[in-house]
């Protein structure tokens, strides 16, 4: 059983976090489709004969967008996971130590998977 470091979230709190998560999901999905369009839309078919060695600015720009895209997909996945946790009643529980994540932290990052202690430990180890 988790120790009683942080109080359990009330139904009202859960509802509040669920709303933020659903908003985050909408924003992230919207951003994603926009990014997809930028990354793949206009220049989706790259003609190999037109790519000149040395002219890397377009390629760099595309790669940069794809990196953004990847990060957003990961965030979106975390948001989706968090919504699922709200639905199955495990929202707010740290995946590392199983203590409740502080409410202030969840307000700042509603899709947080770890409490601040476990997050810091993970950062110190250099991995996230």
Interacting residue with Zn ion among 28, 79, 94, 112 (CB under 5 A): 94
Total of chain residues touching Zn ion, rule CB under 5 A: 5
Nearest to 100 by CA among 80, 85, 114: 114
Closer to Zn ion by Cβ: residue 22 or 97: 97
Closer to Zn ion by Cβ: residue 28 or 94: 94
For the bound state, the minimum distance from the C-beta of residue 4 to Zn ion, rounded and expressed in Å, comes to: 14
Give the 3-state secondary structure of the chain. Answer: CCCCCCCCCCHHHHHHHHHHHHHHHHHHHHHHHHHHHHHHHCCCCCCHHHCCCCCCHHHHHHHHHHHHHHHHHHHHHHHHHHHHHHHHCCCCECCCCCCECCHHHHHHCCCCCCCHHHHHHHHHCCCC
For the bound state, the minimum distance from the C-beta of residue 105 to Zn ion, rounded and expressed in Å, comes to: 11
Interacting residue with Zn ion among 27, 80, 96, 103 (CB under 5 A): 96
Residue 86 engages Zn ion in binding (rule: CB under 5 A): no
For the bound state, the minimum distance from the C-beta of residue 94 to Zn ion, rounded and expressed in Å, comes to: 3
For the bound state, the minimum distance from the C-beta of residue 101 to Zn ion, rounded and expressed in Å, comes to: 7
Interface residues with Zn ion (CB under 5 A) are 94, 96-97, 115, 118
């Amino acid at each position: 059983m988790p120790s009683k470091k942080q109080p359990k979230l009330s139904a009202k709190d859960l509802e509040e976090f669920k709303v933020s998560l659903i908003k985050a999901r909408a924003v992230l999905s919207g951003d994603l489709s926009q990014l997809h369009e930028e990354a793949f839309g206009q220049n989706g078919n790259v003609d190999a004969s037109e790519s000149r060695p040395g002219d890397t600015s377009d390629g760099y720009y595309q790669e940069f967008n794809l990196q953004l895209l990847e990060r957003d997909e990961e965030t979106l996945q975390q948001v989706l996971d968090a919504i699922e946790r709200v639905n199955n009643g495990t929202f707010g529980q740290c995946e590392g130590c199983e203590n409740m994540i502080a409410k202030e932290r969840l307000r700042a990052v509603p899709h947080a998977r770890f409490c601040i202690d476990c997050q810091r430990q993970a950062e110190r180890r250099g991995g996230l």
